[in-house]
A and B are shown apart, each in its own frame.
Chain A
Amino acid sequence: MLEQIESHKYSELEVNKSLSNEDKIEFLRQMVRIRRFEEASLKYYNAGKMGGFLHLYIGQESIAVGTASLCGDNDHMITAYRDHGHALAVGMSMNECMAELYGKKTGCSKGKGGSMHFFAPDKNFWGGHGIVAGQTPLGLGLAYGLKYNGEKGAALCFLGDGAVNQGSFHESLNLAQLWELPVIYVIENNGYSMGTSQKRSSAFNNCLAQRGDAYGIEWDVAKGNDIYEVRAKTKEAMDRAHNDSQPTILEFDTYRYQGHSVADANTKKYRSPEEIDYYKENYDPISVWKKRLFEESVIDENSYKELDDAAKSEAKEAVIFAEESDFPDLSEITDDVYYEVDNQTESGKQGKYFFHD
């Protein structure tokens, strides 16, 4: 009952009331696209088509889609290694993302980054970072850059609940408030830092975001599976960043259905299948949103099926695109290391840069 009241409350806020039916359908489409993309990537990862790790975002889609939907020209996003959802939400194509997973030269990073390192600076998306919390000072730097350049914007820096215990995050929080930088740290709390539950990894009062009190940083905690709620809380934080140049820590409760990565052998051991099923049945972000759009008569079962089929075909096409693309040439291994060399500037022509021969 309480949940219904809260959802009603968030849907009535201006940030959500102003949404058109098309906007609402677009959010559904984006979430479904992310899920179908990841399902396809899982299938072909398991078929041995990709190397390395594959950290899936399935179950958390509402956060990337809800937050990205509020970003304007001067707002930036940066995240950790579970980055496929954010990449697609900011407008990267399935083709370039799938090709990157395949290690192909048509990938968003020319096959040089892989699953954990998607980037699209032209879409204000700064990665895709592999080291837990390593992106948190970078996100701070984006906010510093905005403020230095006199631009009214926000840097949304995503991290998992496992990242909150890293020193670089705490150093970033101190600097964020000390220098009043427009950064929003979005903790996507899926309850597990790899195989270690929050209870076994973090000391805290009430919630992780409340650690912001120690730095005098505004914080909030909310359900992450409901787009209305995600947008409502994010809007508040973005207003604080835009209008007052102040940081925020925003914690969203969420859940991942898959293991930490697909290589996580213990994924069914540190939590029960019942726990996973319970979340899927009651809190799945796509189901929750779909149900709401049915209730609001924005879509019906047929139009949902059309949208879902389109996402499946798009993912299938992306797999074909990736399969048919070429691997990078061996000669390209030393490209994209130095700007000055790539651009053959005077500086780039001076001295020896590479020592393998």
Chain B
Amino acid sequence: MTTPQLTLPQALGRPARPARVTTASGQIALRALRKYLRTPSLCVMAVVQSAMFLFSFRYVFGGAIHAGATSYVEFLVPSYVATIVLFTGGGVAVAVAEDKTAGFTDRLLSLPVSRYSLVLGRTIADSLTNLWSILTTAAFGFAFGFRLPGSWPDGLAALGLCAAYAVVFTVVFVVMGLFAPNAQAAQGMSLIAFVFAFISSAYVPATSMPGWLQPFSKYQPITPMVDAVRSLLTGGSSDVGLALAWSALLVAVFTPVAVVRYRRA
């Protein structure tokens, strides 16, 4: 046994090449996931909040809302699951803004890592946490009386579409966090998602809204996105193409914005 010598990091030498995008994204995602799982106010509260909202819609407002031919719980739960990330995803914007003000983003940007891996790692982690929101929310939906109208494969297809939306909304919230000057502002900015969630066909039939509001509901992305989930549940596929087109458009627009914004965060 010899006494270890040359323990300085300089003695270990510098890495021969920068980290690969996969390694860097993985490390960034791992850190965001650890933070989420080790902060009870993030991982537990997201679930509690989602259950409370669903409970309120289902049992408090639900009785006063007429959803046409189907029962309100049948109408509500699929779209609630599809849009839950619009409520819980504000945490993504807050986390991104916090990283910026706490100097963490500066540290990452000073490292020889690809700027794409910053966005990719963040999106992977937050998509997974948002997927967790979707799964727990779906479970609450069943607990509160929802039953699949169609087959199990149809249900899984609908859930898969909801998962795709989780990725889409994650990218949007990452961009919000990058533009927000601080965490409070990010929280405030994320409320804009409520406008799209509420003025859509997600919680009430769009036809019950006043006429001047209906065009907004009809031509914004959330309505076709939730309608697509509903139609998949019953074995149909109407609106799915439109919903996927909106999803692709949002990702295509917001991803480059995130990468460029990270460069100058």
Q: Do A and B bind each other?
A: no
List residues of A whose CB falls within 8 A of some B CB: none
